[in-house]
Amino acid sequence: MNNSVYIGRFAPTPSGYLHFGSLVAALASYLDARAVGGRWLVRMEDLDPPREMLGAQAAIMTSLENYGFEWDGEWIRQSERHEHYQHVLEQLFSQGLAYACTCSRKQLEPHNGIYPGFCRNLGKPLDDAAIRLRVPELEYHFTDRVQGEFRQHLGQEVGDMVIRRRDGLYAYQLAVVLDDAWQGITDVVRGADLLDSTPRQLYLQELLGFAQPRYLHVPLIVQPDGHKLGKSYRSPPLKADQATPMLLRALRTLGQATPDDAADASPQALLKWAIPYWDSSLIPRRLTLAESELR
């Protein structure tokens, strides 16, 4: 991979402060890029103003700085990209690949999150409707660099997906695919909670003629019995004066080497130290909460 271009990114959502889980994702994407001399971009995924926390964008960028991260170029916001999303959306709609849906939450409730296709062939107008992309009755699969083979049948397991909500907000799945392609992202390194979004993104990439990036999903934190950790588990916001110990813990969580005498190192020095030692083959697939706290 040494001679090829590498462009990675960290794409936080400003619905809250960065926490340990986001640090692990940021660190993995940063080291994976820098270890091959690649570029590393930051993209603020501010698609959902009602869920945005006041001051979160600035706090996230300050945390990244305090933790020693250096991004390339100016960081961007998805809120500046609406025109582009709208353009693609209208194209998909006019080609009949997407359609308007006015189903209520109540109508969809019995279907366990899999869209039953009620509006698929009704030719409804765009106004006051969600827009759904038709998905093919096909299984999509990819090989994640850490999680291995992952497959999902889009028709059976997801159903036609919302790309613009009824309230006019653009969906993450659409924005992330358009922006990764526009920014030339070659490698997506992010949290394992997004593993099961990836097949939808593969389909959108295929539809729009984009290259498929490589994927690395950092370990899932699970309960000792192997069950996924509930959403109720939230680690606290990252503290500025804890940068070095938290970075050390994040390195251990990722299975990476740490220097012997790091306690007094600056976060910048620690990151610099870690770059040549980065070895993605050491990343564990999953960790229990207790393991991740011990590390």
Q: Which residues would be at the binding site for ligand GLU (CB under 6 A)?
A: 11-13, 45, 176, 190, 194
User: Residue 103, interface with Zn ion (CB under 5 A)?
Assistant: yes
Output 191 or 255, the one with its CB closest to ligand GLU.
191
Side chain identity at 288, as an amino acid letter? T
Residue 64 partner contact from ligand GLU, Zn ion, none using kind-dependent CB cut-offs of 5 to 8 Å: none
Rounded Cα distance between 93 and 88, Å, is 9
Q: Which residues 6+ apart lie within 8 Å of 292 measured at CB? A: 20, 219, 221, 253
Q: How many CA atoms lie within 13 A of 22 on its CB side?
A: 22
User: Residue 98, interface with Zn ion (CB under 5 A)?
Assistant: no
Residue 267 beta carbon to ligand GLU: minimum distance, rounded to whole angstroms = 21
Output 116 or 237, the one with its CB closest to Zn ion.
116
Residue 90 beta carbon to ligand GLU: minimum distance, rounded to whole angstroms = 24
Residue 12 beta carbon to ligand GLU: minimum distance, rounded to whole angstroms = 5
Of 75, 93, 118, 277, the one binding Zn ion (CB under 5 A) is: 118
Q: Which tokens in the block code for residue 286?
A: 């999953």
Residue 219 partner contact from ligand GLU, Zn ion, none using kind-dependent CB cut-offs of 5 to 8 Å: none
Q: Using only the alpha carbons of the chain, give its radius of gyration.
A: 20
Query: How big is the CA angle at 89 (ends 72 and 194), to the nearest 5 degrees?
Result: 55
- Partners of 207 in the β-ladder: none
Output 84 or 120, the one with its CB closest to Zn ion.
120
Residue 118 partner contact from Zn ion, ligand GLU, none using kind-dependent CB cut-offs of 5 to 8 Å: Zn ion
Output 208 or 262, the one with its CB closest to ligand GLU.
208
Residues 41/9, Cβ–Cβ less than 8 Å: yes
Where does the chain have alpha helices with state H? Answer: 20-34, 56-66, 82-94, 105-108, 154-157, 172-182, 198-208, 243-253, 267-277, 289-294
Give the nearest residue (CB) to ligand GLU.
190
Among the candidate windows 95-103, 163-171, 199-207, 240-248, which touches Zn ion by CB under 5 A? Answer: 95-103
Output 217 or 249, the one with its CB closest to ligand GLU.
217
* DSSP character at residue 97: S
User: Residue 126, interface with Zn ion (CB under 5 A)?
Assistant: no
Q: Is 206 left (phi over 0), alpha (psi -120 to 50) or beta?
A: alpha
User: Residue 273, interface with Zn ion (CB under 5 A)?
Assistant: no
Residue 159 beta carbon to Zn ion: minimum distance, rounded to whole angstroms = 10
Rounded Cα distance between 219 and 216, Å, is 9
Residue 150 partner contact from ligand GLU, Zn ion, none using kind-dependent CB cut-offs of 5 to 8 Å: none
* Residue ranges binding Zn ion (CB under 5 A): 101, 103, 118-119
